[in-house]
């Protein structure tokens, strides 16, 4: 009885006491997630290493399980987080431009040599798609949600830009962008790489009705 009373007291007071610790924990978890999305972009979901994530977050690997029940749970959350960052990237590139210029800016950015190299900061899709079929279905569900959101954004932009069949167009655009960047990153020489990118840019420009820059 006394034990139960003490437990209750601790429990109730606990909420007050924990507030700071909880915030602290949330911050370090966020740091871990940040590093995890970085790892996924650089090495793909199956290339994410628990110890590497922890050490980059300034921690030792043993502490991992205070935040995530397993590596796979981290991967799932990191996939979701990466897609949010992809959407944020879309906003950053397109905001405060006219629809047509926004569309052009996104296409140009996506197919630029800078984006090819900026694996850590760029769109997370090309870095993940290859691995995703071999990943938890939870992670893939999250990916599906993120993909749907991105599709919606692009579609909305295309409607505003006066592109007809925007839903089809948005899906097709994302597919070609992802495919072209994936291919370009797989190739070695600058010639082949640049050709893949510029050819896709020309083809896309033509079908969405943008003039050559």
Partner DNA sequence: TGTACATCAGTGAACGCGCGTTCACTGATGTAC
Please report, as ranges, the residues that interact with its own copies according to CB under 8 A. Answer: 43-44, 46-47, 125-134, 137, 140-141, 143-144, 147-148, 165, 167-169, 171-172, 174-180, 182-183, 185-189, 192, 195-196, 199-200, 202-204, 206-207
In the list DNA, its own copies, none, the entry touching 20 (Cβ below 5 to 8 angstroms by class) is DNA
Q: Which of 41, 37, 21, 201 is nearest to 117 (CA)?
A: 41
Measured from the CB of residue 148, what is the shortest distance to its own copies in angstroms?
A: 7
By CB under 7 A, is residue 149 in contact with DNA? Answer: no
Structure tokens at 39: 């790892």
By CB under 7 A, is residue 9 in contact with DNA? Answer: yes
By CB under 7 A, is residue 135 in contact with DNA? Answer: no
Residues 6+ apart with CB under 8 A from 13: none
State how far the Cα of 100 lies from the Cα of 205, in Å rounded to an integer: 11
Using DSSP, state whether 187 is helix, strand or coil.
coil
Question: Vertex 112, ends 153 and 161: CA angle to 5°?
Answer: 35
The smaller minimum CB distance to its own copies, of residues 63 and 130, is found at 130
In the list its own copies, DNA, none, the entry touching 143 (Cβ below 5 to 8 angstroms by class) is its own copies
Tokens 């089809």 correspond to: 168
Q: Which stretch binds DNA (CB under 7 A): 21-29, 154-162, 167-175, 179-187?
A: 21-29
CA 15 to chain centre: 34
The smaller minimum CB distance to its own copies, of residues 36 and 125, is found at 125
Q: DSSP labels for 101-140? A: HHHHHHHHHHTSHHHHH-TTTS-SHHHHTTTGGGS-HHHH
In the list DNA, its own copies, none, the entry touching 130 (Cβ below 5 to 8 angstroms by class) is its own copies
By CB under 7 A, is residue 100 in contact with DNA? Answer: no
State how far the Cα of 44 lies from the Cα of 41, in Å rounded to an integer: 6
Judged by the rule CB under 7 A, the positions of this chain that interact with DNA are 9-10, 13-14, 16-18, 20-21, 24-25, 28, 48-51, 54, 58-67, 70-72
């Amino acid at each position: 009885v006394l034990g139960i009373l003490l437990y209750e007291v601790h429990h109730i007071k606990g909420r007050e006491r924990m507030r700071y610790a909880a915030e602290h924990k949330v911050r370090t978890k966020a740091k871990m997630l940040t590093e995890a999305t970085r790892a996924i972009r650089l090495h793909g979901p199956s290339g994410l290493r628990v110890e590497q994530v922890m050490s980059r977050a300034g921690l030792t690997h043993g502490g991992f399980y205070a935040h995530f029940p397993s590596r796979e749970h981290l991967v799932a959350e990191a996939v979701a987080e990466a897609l949010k960052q992809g959407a944020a990237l879309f906003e950053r590139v397109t905001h405060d431009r006219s629809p047509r210029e926004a569309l052009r800016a996104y296409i140009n950015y996506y197919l630029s040599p800078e984006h090819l190299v900026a694996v850590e900061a760029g769109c997370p899709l090309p870095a993940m798609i290859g691995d995703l079929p071999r990943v938890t279905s939870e992670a893939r569900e999250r990916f599906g949600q993120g993909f749907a959101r991105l599709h919606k954004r692009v579609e909305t932009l295309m409607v505003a830009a006066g592109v007809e069949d925007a839903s089809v167009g948005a899906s097709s655009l994302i597919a070609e962008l992802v495919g072209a960047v994936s291919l370009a990153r797989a190739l070695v020489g600058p010639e082949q790489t640049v050709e893949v990118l510029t050819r896709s840019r020309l083809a896309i420009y033509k079908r969405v009705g943008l003039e050559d820059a």
